[in-house]
Amino acid sequence: MSIYETLNPMQQEAVYHTEGPLLILAGAGSGKTRVLTHRIAYLIDEKGVNPWNILAITFTNKAAGEMRERVDNIVGFGSEQIWVSTFHSACVRILRRFADYLGYGRNFVIYDMDDQKSVIKEICKRLNIDTKICKERMLLSMISSAKNEMIDAKEYALGAAGDYSKLRVADVYKEYERILLKNNAMDFDDLLMKTVEVLRNNEDARNYYQERFKYIMVDEYQDTNTVQFRLVSLLAGKYKNLCVVGDDDQSIYKFRGANIYNILNFEKEFPDAKVIKLEQNYRSTKNILEAANSVIQNNKGRKDKKLWTSNDIGDKIVFHQYQSEYDEAFQVVDEIGKTVAAGKAKYNDFAILYRTNAQSRVLEEKFVAKNIPYKIVGGVNFYQRREIKDILAYLKTIDNGQDDLSIQRIINVPKRGIGMTTLGRIIEYGQARDMNLYDALGCCGDIPKLGRAAEKIKGFVNMIDVFRAQSEYITLSELLQHVLEETGYIKELEAESTEVAQGRIENIDELMNKLVAYETDTDEPTLSGFLEDVALVADIDSLDEAEDYVVLMTLHSAKGLEFPYVYMCGMEDGLFPSYMTIVNDDPDEIEEERRLCYVGITRAEKRLTMTYARSRMVRGSTQYSKVSRFVREIAPELFDKGRMPEKEKPESRIQRPSDFTRKQAAKVTASFGKEFVVQKAANLDYTVGDRVKHIKFGAGTVVNIADGGRDFEVTVDFDKSGVKKMFASFAKLKPVD
């Protein structure tokens, strides 16, 4: 029996169709990599294609390495002549041959993010751009987005006409490109953009590579952006033997520039294209696939297909509803522990998936408390994240001025002009006099050669002294809020305007939740007590580092992976899909979130559990949410006991609350640790369209008021803080005349 007879009929068809454009719609778990490697073997063994005439492109070095290994195993002799590469690696090889056409030397260097930031920083200084307002990361993000759309500096400037802020970016972009060319350097976006420029404008280069790569295969095609689409279109322009493999239902990287229309419009770009659907799933049970299908079918912007499997029908979907995120975490971790203890599974059979990194904090604490090994994939331990360590270092300095390490960490974070040379002189001064660093900082006026930095040090010391004085008469959560505001830490992240910065802000919000929970659950909360509590939770060195651990990760990080048992936590409207997605009411954004849910569901092999917390602490205040619309889209008969009917009271199916939740039910905790009793007003002093003022967020306009039963839910578009949704009793909004 030949190796091709082991494939199912649709896989065989994809392998045997070698000429002309081909779109393989490969559903989750349908064996797409197997098809690609067998197709390469078929081209060489049966069609007589030279190995050096084949190009296989994927996205990551890991994926390229795995494909290379599988190709070598199946093809054997001559396989090393096949180009199996990432987009960037392929482009580097092309540019090393033709970079001189663009005015670059062939020995050009490739700048990483730190190199790019250094260049942008110098440009901002030269152009008198305030990097506190216009952050280097934001500028790089905008330039990167332009390059991914094949927009050069000149075209960007033309499109920015009349927009002052964009014109400033255009100036930076132009100067950035000038410096890179002068330094014979390219960034990662240039590798793609410049290669397209070469192929488009240099006939010799285009002819050479079109002849070289007569058969091109692209994996994960749904994740390609505009410049990647143009690259493969140019390479395949002569022979049209372009095979792309992907799944539009798993297109979840729009925020990275992925353009789903590359796969949706493939037949329009290549009218003679053959489309083959791989719909047989080898991973999951029938019930899991039915749940995935019932969710994704609600998307309108997709190719028509439906996953099926010959696997067993399997367990029904489990859905648990809890009072709070603490109950959710406790029950999930407890259930995993009991399942493993009973010998029914190993820890590494389990994966917990969530929408945002910040959700890991409560789960991590429960795993540590239960002494269950776990690992964060695609991220780091919550308390090891940079922003969390920074804020905790501020709190440690306020609580204990003798912690030199904490002071060294934060003395110039955010940047306040206190460099390493200055810090070194202060440390040297203190060591000579047997003083700790904080005391030495207080003597900066006596230390020679500090110059203007002395005033900045005095400002830092004065700020810490003020925090210490405030800590005597305000709550811990109020103290944390003061630290965030006075240091400008949040403002600096907001100015970056990047997905990474937003994730860091969410993590800081989660730290506020942790602090408010500590205040609520402790009779006499103190800063020292909180830091001790955190230190004990964050100490995971004693965990078993063997490979048998529970995996925690975001849904975005889970793509391409599979686990016997999957928990999808935080299935709430406002969290998943996100609150801003709901507020913006953008169908494309909702469909992207729904695809993310589909990806999560299809990671499960044997059993899928979805969990929902009726109340969840956000930025230090308790918020109430409905079950995610994605859960409600799953047919009730697919759930273990049938999904909770809408008419049923939520309390009837909520799990027994923990001690913490019972305390919260008795006293609802609002922002900054203050306690309020929910008392719904008979009517409000404002209505939709009125201007109001909030003690923290400032002035804004009321855009919606909904009667939530126990209280009015008010949505306000604040001038500086954006759209916020809050309960009227907590918000205490004041009308503005």
Active-site residues: which are they? 32-33, 219-220, 250, 603
Q: Token pair for residue 351? A: 């994966």
Nearest 10 degrees: Cα torsion 390, 391, 394, 399? -130
Sign of the alpha-carbon torsion through 27, 29, 30, 33 = positive
Is the preceding peptide bond at 577 cis, omega within 30 degrees of 0?
A: yes
d(CA 657, CA 668): 15
d(CA 237, CA 199): 10
**Does residue 39 contact residue 70 with C-beta atoms inside 8 Å?**
no
Is the preceding peptide bond at 9 cis, omega within 30 degrees of 0?
A: no
Sign of the alpha-carbon torsion through 252, 258, 264, 270 = negative
Residue 563 — φ and ψ, nearest 5°?
Answer: -145, 145
Q: Which residues pair with 542 in a beta bridge?
A: none
Q: Which residues pair with 639 in a beta bridge?
A: 317
d(CA 160, CA 144): 16
CA distances from 147 to 192, 608, 665 (A): 9, 40, 52
Which residues contact residue 328 at a Cβ distance below 8 angstroms, ignoring those fewer than 6 apart? 320, 322, 362, 569, 570, 611, 612, 613
**Does residue 700 contact residue 657 with C-beta atoms inside 8 Å?**
no
Q: Which residues pair with 724 in a beta bridge?
A: 716
Q: Which residues of 64-85 are buried (b: 16+ CB within 10 A; e: fewer)?
A: beebbebbeebbeeebeebbbb
For residue 286, what is the DSSP state? H
**Does residue 467 contact residue 487 with C-beta atoms inside 8 Å?**
no
| CA 690 to chain centroid | 36
Q: Which residues pair with 340 in a beta bridge?
A: none
Let me know how long the chain is. Answer: 737
For residue 610, what is the DSSP state? E
Nearest to 550 by CA among 304, 320, 300, 364: 364
Q: Which residues pair with 85 in a beta bridge?
A: 57
As to burial, measured by CB atoms within 10 angstroms (0-12 exposed, 13-18 middle, 19+ buried), residue 656 is exposed
* Residue 187, number of CB atoms within 10 A of its CB: 21
* C-alpha gyration radius of the chain: 29
Q: Token pair for residue 335? A: 């259930």
Q: Which residues of 659-670 are buried (b: 16+ CB within 10 A; e: fewer)?
A: ebbeebeeebbb
SS3 at position 577: coil
Sign of the alpha-carbon torsion through 40, 41, 46, 52 = positive
**Does residue 340 contact residue 377 with C-beta atoms inside 8 Å?**
no
